Structure 1
Amino acid sequence: MVQAGVRPDRIGSYSVDDVVFLLRDISKYQLEIKTEEREALIQSGTHYSEMLPMEYQPDEQYISLFHRTLNHYSKRIAIAIGVVAEQIKEKRGLNNLVLVSLARAGTPIGVLVKRYFKAIHRVEIPHYSISIIRGRGIDETAIDYIFAHHAAADIQFIDGWTGKGAITKELKGACQKYNAAHSNQLNASLAVLADPGYCVDIYGTREDFLIPSACLNSTVSGLVSRTVWNESFMEKGDFHGAKFYRELKEVDVSNLYVDCIAAEFAHAIEGIQQRLVELANEDQTPSWKGAQSVERIQEIFSIKNSNFVKPGVGETTRVLLRRVPWKILINPYYSNDLTHILLLAKDKNVQVEEFADMSYSCCGIIKEL
């Protein structure tokens, strides 16, 4: 159980009506490391969650692209949010539902699902954002905190998108571990806006299209950093940590992003219903088709470590923003959706190559150092 007196810090630029972050504020620690140095540390065995990347600050051209993309895709995203929310309602009901988004890509999606339930179904669903770390599992202190405040909680996990499905697998293993040790039980179901990896059964779309929140870092995710677990200064039994980048308040678009999409809900009802009818005739069973694409890429480009292959527009963006890329593969069928990828690749002088034999619109490959 959660230790008495252990409470999360108040962090993030979202209203508490939208989300409560169950995180420890570690802003006083200097954890950001230059990209090349951080990449070398990761590749030599340091866990990525023990340090933070430098926050990329985009230029005006890139920010203007974010705003154009948001205007262009807001209704499409609103439809996908509604489709996700209606599936959650159908499968889980709303009585004891608690939304738990995975920080940080899941946070804006969780905020939007919560807002959809309020706007369309007139019901307030609790929403928390917690940490999950590949190789280290879920923040069990955060889970204990939720059950302490919602005894009958039926938790639905939410993320932004799938890549290879690493977080889907991590979540499943973490839930099994938690369930074996606790009377409160977790359902490992993960709902995402986009599932190009074909590894979940609740999704808004399986198309690998640009979700504008993938374009930016903390400034579209409540000014919260990636989550951190570093035992050199963090205590066991405490929440996982994150930084609150208060100094970026002037360029924060987190609330603008969710406001813009939520404003489309009323106009998206017809599109949501149409998409739900289509889904009823689809096989939503995970086929892990994306993982097969990754295996092909590894074989063709002689890449031994699958962790160097980051498929999908969201993961490719992350490679360009905070890793050291070797090359970017672009599926020519989706090239119109990839302006920001091409901009970043040009800015960082990264080779771009056409590659159509994958279920994704693009794929980032990390340079082996």
Structure 2
Amino acid sequence: MSEPVTKPEEAEPQGGFRARHALLKRLADVVSLPGSRVNAFERSVIGDLLVEMLRLASHDDRKRVAARLAPLTEVPNALARMLLRDEPDIAGLLIEQCASLSDADLVACARDAATEHRLLMASRRGLSEVVTETLMSFGESAVIEAVLTNTTARLSQVAVEGVVSLSRTDRQLCAHLLRRPELRPSGAYVMFWWCDPDDRRTILQRFAVSREVMQEVVEDVFVMASEENWQDPVSRKALQFIERRQRNRAAIEKSPFSDLEQAVEAAARDGLTREVATEIAHLAGVKPITGAKIMGDPGGEPLAILCKATGLAKTELTGLWRSMRRPELAEDGSPDPVWERVQVTYDMLAVDRAQTVLRYWNWSLSSALTPALLRVIREGEEDEVDDYSAPERAAMLALAENFGR
């Protein structure tokens, strides 16, 4: 048998074993042949042999093989699995360049390899929902941020909900998440409570949607529900979310104040007591816990939303602001930036859109609360989050800080 012709790159292999170096290259070349030259079974057998050799090969040899295989449309499965778990600079060649890797290959790599591998994978083009969900499940901020900024990656709603929850403590994720097309109003509304002013403005501009279409298609259903004396709690709750009127007429009959404006006037004159705050919440058509969350928010934008949604004028907004002893002027006499931002929020929102945000908050912060959910919020049993509905999860996140967590 004649000796093979020595090629230039085989002349001085690192490690001193010319035969091993040449064999690795030749086998990698054979694996790279088109299907017309090598069938699937032959490719698989060669791949198995390469795996055994690469276990003892040098770092440079493994890297050369990975670079040779990366452009292929078909890589033997065992060989791909091994190289994907190799050092990041080796695995990265396949992660970044190899289009033939399946979701199963990528998910297995994400689960078995290190953070560096997941970070490389997060920037890969065309990641599917199952892969991004796996990458994000580790809770690694750098990886999650890389996935969120990867415009070709697709996110599942489970993954989005997970990032919404993480953003409560990792605030830098908020801005990235708000750019994702997969984020829905339910997630944006609950994120609002811990977002910075710029992100809050983005949420209101993008997600404060109108209910006009819903109001048009269910107009006759209001009549039906009224004829049934509003006995069905399911339709009653949904119609309360859709209807145009925000203020609670029934609360006015029981209130010591003639209307919402008088309650606000009393607060501005005498200061905002717990009793008056509760009355304002009832008259505004929200539950006291929702009103407390709104009035206790340090940013102030929720107060502007409450006033706009209920038809209060800007003078009432000013009165409420003063009743809470919030500053209108900075120390140098210029307008206080927080108060300026609250007024801008009031001006930028239409009544209908402000009502959508307010009603979702009220829905998630009050009607979703049950004794069991309150226990989960107090005790921090977030592992049970999948057992709850979207508004219940929203309440769990938004109220967590109120319970000292």
Return the TM-score normalized by structure 1: 0.24
Structure holding more helix per residue: 2
Return the TM-score normalized by structure 2: 0.22
The structure whose RCO (Cα within 8 Å, separation 6+) is larger is 1
Structure holding more strand per residue: 1
